[in-house]
């Protein structure tokens, strides 16, 4: 049952909700705009190709992101009315959408590193062995932290004619799951950086006039951008563990707003580009090379890294 009040005590809460709502709308619009901007390329490079595991992961990240953006606007916009039960469902969708996308992004990163290490089964097995318990631990800790959501302890507040969905409890475990995520992302980034630097050194020795824009560099450029975006969102998430973070309500709301914006960009915009950037690279490679039929592929499904004309293996 909604809580209705016109007590001036809630005026601060209303102002903070409006500020946060601006960030939510901005982050959701960014996701929608990015999708509309790239839908033509997506049909050409993703849906116009043979179905593969990477296609499934791309679709999971891309369209779960759109679902998340819609639920986020419904949950956090003060002018939209929703009963208590719908509030709980929207929060549930947002939380588990983020968890599913993080798992899918982890799988995409594994395939990319597998490609960079030239289909090394040792690397693949090691990453999977590490990834599975990390993901399960995040899900368990997150599930415990989201227990109030699963129990539908979210209420609709009607304050001076505005509508807000408010979670009555939040566990610190929700924030602490980012510690596991940071450890995983740091490990994969170091593995990617190691093989990339090794590849560049080998190219410099064998080919004095080597060009930087090969498959390794495409993989590493997108991976580095994704990693640093994750590092930014992770540092902001971990700052929530600081005991005095909520002492300044307005500052805290702005902090949470930017966190929401950066997290959305990292997961739902830079995430899909981990796949589509490689599809674009190989489409250009086939288009530009007279020796396209001689390409040998290493990995990455339809977006595999390739070596052209018998050159050194690239991813």
- Please calculate the CA angle 213-57-299 and round it to the nearest 5 degrees: 45
Q: 136-170 pLDDT, tens per residue?
A: 877 776 665 554 444 344 455 555 456 666 654 45
pLDDT given at position 94: 86
Distance between CA 272 and CA 187 in Å, rounded?
20
- Of residues 155 and 265, the one with the higher pLDDT is 265
Average pLDDT over residues 216-231: 84
On the question of pLDDT at 299 being above 60, the answer is no
On the question of pLDDT at 296 being above 60, the answer is no
Please compute, for residue 198, the number of CA atoms within 13 A of its CA located in the half-sphere on the CB side.
11
pLDDT given at position 101: 92
Distance between CA 183 and CA 174 in Å, rounded?
16
All domains in the chain, ordered by first residue: 3-277 (1.20.1070.10)
Q: 45-95 pLDDT, tens per residue?
A: 998 888 889 999 999 999 999 999 998 888 877 777 777 677 778 888 888
On the question of pLDDT at 285 being above 80, the answer is no
pLDDT-wise least confident of 49-63, 215-229, 237-251: 237-251
Average pLDDT over residues 129-135: 89
- Please calculate the CA angle 181-101-174 and round it to the nearest 5 degrees: 50
Provide the mean pLDDT of the chain.
75
On the question of pLDDT at 309 being above 70, the answer is no
Residue with tokens 């809460």: 13
How far the first Cα of the chain sits from its last, in Å, is 56
Distance between CA 168 and CA 154 in Å, rounded?
6
Q: 172-198 pLDDT, tens per residue?
A: 545 566 677 888 888 999 998 898 888
Q: How confident is the model at residue 302 (pLDDT cuts 50, 70, 90)?
A: very low
- Please calculate the CA angle 65-70-73 and round it to the nearest 5 degrees: 120
Contact 47/98 with Cβ under 8 angstroms? Answer: no
Distance between CA 140 and CA 198 in Å, rounded?
37
Distance between CA 47 and CA 286 in Å, rounded?
18
Q: 32-46 pLDDT, tens per residue?
A: 999 999 999 999 899
Q: Which helix (H) or strand (E) holds 299?
A: strand 296-299
- Of residues 279 and 178, the one with the higher pLDDT is 279
């Amino acid at each position: 049952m909604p809580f209705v009040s016109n007590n001036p005590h809630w005026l601060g809460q209303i102002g903070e909700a409006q500020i946060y709502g601006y960030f939510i709308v901005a982050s959701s619009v960014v996701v929608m705009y990015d999708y509309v901007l790239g839908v033509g390329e997506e049909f050409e490079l993703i849906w116009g190709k043979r179905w593969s595991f990477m296609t499934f992961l791309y679709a999971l990240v891309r369209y779960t992101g759109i679902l998340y953006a819609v639920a986020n606007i419904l949950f956090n916009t003060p002018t939209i009315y929703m009963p208590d039960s719908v509030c709980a469902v929207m929060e549930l969708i947002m939380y588990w959408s983020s968890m599913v996308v993080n798992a899918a992004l982890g799988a995409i990163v594994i395939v990319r590193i597998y490609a960079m290490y030239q289909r090394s089964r040792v690397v693949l097995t090691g990453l999977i062995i590490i990834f599975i318990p990390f993901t399960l631990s995040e899900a368990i800790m997150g599930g415990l932290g989201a227990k109030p959501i699963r129990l539908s302890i979210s209420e609709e507040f009607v304050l001076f004619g505005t509508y807000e969905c408010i979670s009555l409890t939040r566990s610190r475990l929700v924030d602490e799951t980012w510690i596991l995520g940071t450890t995983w992302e740091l490990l994969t980034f170091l593995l990617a950086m190691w093989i990339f630097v090794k590849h560049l050194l080998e190219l410099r020795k064998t080919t004095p006039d080597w060009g930087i824009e090969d498959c390794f560099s495409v993989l590493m450029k997108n991976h580095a951008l994704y990693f640093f975006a994750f590092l930014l969102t992770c540092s902001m998430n971990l700052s929530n563990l600081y005991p005095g973070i909520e002492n300044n309500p307005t500052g805290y709301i702005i902090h949470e707003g930017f966190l929401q914006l950066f997290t959305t960009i990292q997961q739902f915009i830079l995430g899909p580009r981990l796949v589509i950037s490689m599809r674009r690279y190989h489409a250009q490679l086939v288009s530009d090379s007279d020796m396209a039929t001689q390409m040998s592929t290493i990995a990455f499904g339809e977006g595999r890294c390739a070596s052209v004309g018998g050159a050194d293996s690239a991813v």
